[in-house]
Structures are given as structure tokens and as C-alpha cells.
Amino acid sequence: MALVVRDAAVWDGDSSEVTPADVVCDGGRVVAVEAVRSVRPDTDDDVVEADGAVVVPGLVDGHVHLVWSAGPDPAGVVEADGEQLTVLRAAENARAHLQAGVTTVADLGSNWDVAIAVARAVELGHVVGPRVLAAGRTVAMTGGHDPFWVNACDGVDAVVRGVREQVFLGAGLIKTAATGGVYGRAEGEEVGASELTAEELAALAREAHRRGVKVAAHALGTEGIRDSVEAGIDVIEHGVFLTEEIAAAMAGRGTALCPTLAVYRSLAAGGGPDYATAKAVEVVRAHDNAVHLAMEAGVPIVAGTDAGSPGMPHPSLEDELAALHACGLPPLDVLKAATSRAADALGADVGRIRPGAPADLLVLDGDPFTDPVLAARPRTVVARQRLVRGG
């Protein structure tokens, strides 16, 4: 049984314009993009009538935490609930993303490697959710950022072991922490302070790439960002104190930036603990400048929300698309940040509509090339050829 989306204005994830077409999906993948109204479905095929509406690839959220609740202290909730309740919450959070058209998420940190289990459950059909690229526990230093889900590794040999362990457990990518952060520890953690050394980061990236997975580094401070870029890290998360020099290096290497703008605005407005609010105010002042530097240098921008963090529910991609647009990213680039560019940065075969691509499609009301936020309000959601919302 095939699925046919008829009379669509198809945006393929790369082009600067749409193409009138019918999209044919079979076996969970796009098999053809044909001239509009040229496809004659069989009687048992599923048919979605787009009626001329824009159809885009399923969206990618490049930074989530499925185990977290988005309350004032989500790490505390996980500690109180324990592993079994946390697994159930993570599965429900994954389902919520899918209903909003987010067909792929990168989970960049989970206690007990819960996100790896959710990723497997989705693949096996045990739960309904988006494709989950799960890091599981972060490979980071003892006593560093987000210690509650760290695979603690100190020294070059240890980080190599940590990468191998996470890949063995099923991680689809590796997450590390190059600097301190805003939410996580009330004491003993500074926003810009470096954590893993340049040598540790280089060994980590080299081993991850040898194992065939990408690396995302939590990096707010300038030194940590620079060390991560020079180490060959694929995606810089947050990148708050980015410099013009580092942005140029990122553009030259193809290193992506996932700024997560909206979460820091939420924290600065009092969405989390008092210590995090004070730190976030400092971050917000610098963050817009970092994104502007990245845009001017031609750094690939990835849309990620940090969903699950204080004030950022599952899903929150609409807020991040709006923040990127307000920061000056043109609508087409905002859409690419949540589709093809995110997919490329994460090494995922998603984010495009073309033969062979996964059958992840959204039918939209309105023009996302004028208001990219509309991409996060789909009329119809198709994931792996399965109609999960609308019709």
C-alpha cells in the first residue's frame, strides 16, 4: 500500500522555491515526486489531498531532553521519580513532538541512557514517536556540567573509552560538555569556564568519527568553543561567547551552530531556579551577537530548543523558529535550520523530500516562506509514511 500526497506545492528542503507536484511514498520512503495531478492511486492506497498547500519535510529539533519535564527544576523531578517513571515520561514527550510535525529529534542528554531506549522503542514500533538520535549520557568530566547524566571521563584514554561505551550502548551521536552552563548546578559551575581540555576534546571527536557518529559539544565560553572547533566537533551547542575569528573557522570547517536562543530567554524571564535566571540574563545579552556573527560568516545554523529544560515544553520548536527569525535569519534559512541543515549537521538521512528519503512530510496552512513559524503548525503530519495527524 502506497501513500500519495496530491496537488502539493512541494518544498524539497534545499530549493528556494516550491514545485507543484504529487509525492508518492512506499515502504516508508519517498519513491517519486511527479508532475502535479499525474499520479493515479490504486484503490487501496492512502491519499492526502493537499489542495495546493505547501508540503515540507518533517521537522528536526536538534537539541532536546526527553527525560525532562520543562518545570522549574526538571533534573529534580527525574531524581524524585526514578528510572521507570522517567522512561514513561520520555516516551510521552517523544509522542508530543511527533504530533507537532517534529519527525526527528536529537536527544543530547538523558539519565540512565533512557533516550537510547526510547529510540529503540520507536524503531521497533513499541511506542509512537519521532526518529530519536540519542546520545544517552554525555561524555564529560567528573563534576562538570549536568553531572546527573554524565559518563564521567577524565583524561584522553578515559574519553575514548566513554565514546566507545556510548556507541556500544546504541548512541546515535555523542554529546560532550566543553564548558559550564546556565542550568544544572547551583554552585561550582561557571557559564564560560572550560571543562574538557583541548586534548580530551580532540581524542573524543576522533574516536566518535572513527565509530561513525557525529559529536555535539555544549560550549558557551570562548575558549571551550575554540577548542571544540579545533578538535573537529560537528555541532557547537549554544555558542554564546562566539567571536568573529571562531565563526570564520567554523564556516571554513563546516562546523554547525545550534544556538538554542529561546531557552535562555525563558530562563532569563524566571523560568527556572534563581541561580539559572541570573546566569541567563548574562547569556541573553551576548547571544544575539553570537548568532549574528555566525550568520555573517556563513556558519550552518541548526534549530534546537533544549526542550524539557525549564520553561521549554515538548515541543517548543515554534518558539525557536520565531527566535531565529527575529534574530535576522531569513525565512528560507530558518526552514533549512529545522530540516536539511539540521540533518546534515547530525548526519541523518532526513530533512528533504526526494526519492529515497524517509516519508516524513508536513502539509501546512499559509506561507512558511513569509512566516517560518507556520512550519511548526502543520495541518497534516506524515511520519515514515504513517498518517499521524490530519488527512
Which residue reads 538554542 in cell numbers? 260
Domains present along the chain, CATH in parentheses: 3-57+352-389 (2.30.40.10), 59-346 (3.20.20.140)
* SS3 category, 344: helix
Closest CA to 55 of 379, 343, 349, 388: 379
Question: Residue 102 has what pLDDT?
Answer: 98
pTM: 0.97
Asked if residue 190 has pLDDT above 90, the reply is no
Provide the mean pLDDT of the chain. 96
Q: Residue 307 is which amino acid?
A: A
Q: What is the pLDDT of residues 264-312, one digit of tens each?
A: 999 999 988 899 999 999 899 899 999 999 999 999 999 999 999 999 9
Helix (H) or strand (E) holding 20: strand 19-26
Bridge-based pairing state of the strands 235-238 and 256-258: parallel
387 secondary structure, DSSP code: E
Residues of the chain with pLDDT > 70, as a percent, come to: 100
Asked if residue 357 has pLDDT above 80, the reply is yes
Bridge-based pairing state of the strands 102-107 and 59-64: parallel
Query: What is the full DSSP assignment across 88-124?
Result: HHHHHHHHHHHHTTEEEEEE---GGGHHHHHHHHHHH
Burial class (CB in 10 A: 0-12, 13-18, 19+), 186: exposed
For residues 278 and 264, what is the distance between their CA atoms, to the nearest angstrom?
11
Asked if residue 370 has pLDDT above 80, the reply is yes
Q: What is the pLDDT of residues 82-97, one digit of tens each?
A: 999 999 999 999 999 9
Q: What is the pLDDT of residues 105-143, one digit of tens each?
A: 999 999 999 999 999 999 999 999 999 999 999 999 999
In DSSP terms, 238 is beta-bridged to 219
Closest CA to 122 of 138, 102, 137: 102
